[in-house]
Structure 1
Amino acid sequence: MEQLEIVVATRDVKGKGASRRLRRNGYIPGILYGSGKSPVNIQVDHNYVMKLADVEAFYSRILTLSLPTGNERVVLKDMQRHSHKARIMHIDFLRINENEQLAMRIPLHFMNEDICDGVKTGGGVITHVITELEILCLPRDLPEYIEVDVKALKLGESLHLSDITVPEGVQIAALVHGGDPDQSIVSVQQPRIVLESQELEEEPTEGKIDQLSVPEKESGESTGTEGES
């Protein structure tokens, strides 16, 4: 597995003003903490992190943080983005302890969508209800992603939390904490346009019955018995 190494520098100055100056100079202010050690204020090159931000493994892999004092094994714990600009405002890294469980959000990879039974034979579309999953595991067991096979899923069916197979040593956090095992993960449903067409066909025809036209009476034609002798 390719290692992701990030070179960072420590910083002594804190505060909003110092952070703004860092950002103007092309750096992201951040913090390194955890594993029973003191927090360290850091700065990292903004452009380099922006490139990493497009790499899925950046969010779910153990990273190597290269500091002046040596290397640290870490995971990305938080990354704050600007509300409307392509800019990262702050970044947090968590030191790992090889003997302590991590709580991480891992992406789901949906496999065999192109040959899914409900799509090929039922004409359905696949809906991803969730695309990542929080897991608990030791650092050595951390998967980069979790595969979800949808090949056998039929039209109208779903896969649930309890259907997900995780690697050995990995637990699904929601199930450990008493979450709903029937929570939907992915489903195959009829396309919306088909559903709307069916709904229209099933609408009642009240008010649409053709009216029988009654021919108008010719002028002077009697419609009653008045004047009969």
Structure 2
Amino acid sequence: MASKQIELTASTRTKHGKGASGRLRKTGRVPGIVYGHGVEPTALDVDALQLYHALHTDAGRNVLIRLEVEGETHLSIVKDLQRHAVRGDVMHVDFQAVSRDQQITAEIPVHLANEEDPRQNGGIINLVLYTVPLRVRPLEVPQEFVLDLAGTEIGDVRRMSDLADQLPEGAEFELEDDVTIVTITAPMSEEELDELAEGAGIEEDQAEPELVAEGDEPAEGGDEAEGGADAEGDGDADE
């Protein structure tokens, strides 16, 4: 169970808007907000590097954070992240304060075991759900569910019901038991691939695009200006 908690200290902030948030980010801070159990919605900021490390534990986005704000500590989860469109930097973070006794919804990754079994007979593994939604108490959020494919073969299916024995006490899935997680299918024949291509309007003798080798002169009008919009994304999600 992912009961480990990460400590993170936040500072309250009174200045809002794009300009203030941009200046804050240049100092290595990330603007955000905390709301939820036992706390009034409060604008804050956290250290960008500390936030990065908090989000890169084995628990990922499901990490439990002991968020200290002005001397008060709130058990919280990261409810939402806004990232820079190009760099991927976190531009804004929403923390939701939670009660240890009240269930939350978490997306739990699905890990496959013994994948070699269906592949030995030519089976193709199709993972339909990479994560499954779970209602669970914060201190009992599992890091992952392991779906064992031992003994499976072409035509087999694994469903939500196959994960039931890994449910923490009192937790429940937000999907029905018969929802498919994995299917094992046969590889497609050449005829099936041809039919698929025809259905997509692809012809075998379709002309290939002309390639320009590195260093060749570009086509006429090839000196296109780069769309250098910085996409700074200063659209702060402040209230």
Q: Same fold (TM over 0.5)?
A: yes
- 1:28 aligns to what? 30
Partner deviation per Cα, 1:126-162 (whole Å, 9 max, x = no partner): 2211111111122233222222222232212221223
Superposition deviation, residue 88 in structure 1: 0.8
Aligned partners of 1:107 and 1:95: how far apart in 2?
22
What does residue 186 of structure 2 align with?
190
Q: Which amino acid aligns with 2:70?
A: P
Alignment of 1:1-229 (within 5 A): 2-114=4-116, 116=117, 118-120=118-120, 122-165=121-164, 166-175=167-176, 181-191=177-187, 195-197=188-190, 199=192
Q: Which residue in 2 is equivalent to 1:212?
A: none
Q: Using the alignment, how far apart are the partners of 1:3 and 1:167 within structure 2? A: 18
**CA root-mean-square deviation:** 2.3
Distance 1:82 1:15, change over 3 A: same
Q: What is residue 222 of structure 1 aligned with on the other side?
A: none
Larger Rg: 1
Query: 2-side partners of 1:134 and 1:140: how far apart?
Result: 16
TM-score of the aligned structures, taking structure 1 as reference length: 0.74
Instruction: Deviation per CA, 1:179-199: give whole Å up to 9, x if none.
Output: xx43221122234xxx13353
* Structure 1 gap ranges (5+): 176-180, 203-229
Structure 2 CA distance for partners of 1:80 and 1:42, relative to 1, 3 Å: same
Percent identity of paired positions between Structure 1 and Structure 2: 31
Check conservation: 1:12, 1:41, Cα contact below 8 A: yes
Whether the aligned pair in 1 keeps the contact of 2:82 and 2:91 (CA below 8 Å) is yes
The residue identity in structure 2 corresponding to 1:13 is K
Structure 1 moving runs of 4+ over 4 Å: none
Distance of aligned partners of 1:23 and 1:151 in 2 relative to their CA distance in 1, 3 Å threshold: same
In 2, distance between residues paired with 1:30 and 1:21? 14
- Contact kept? 1:142, 1:170, Cα under 8 Å: no
Deviation at 1:56, TM superposition (A): 4.0
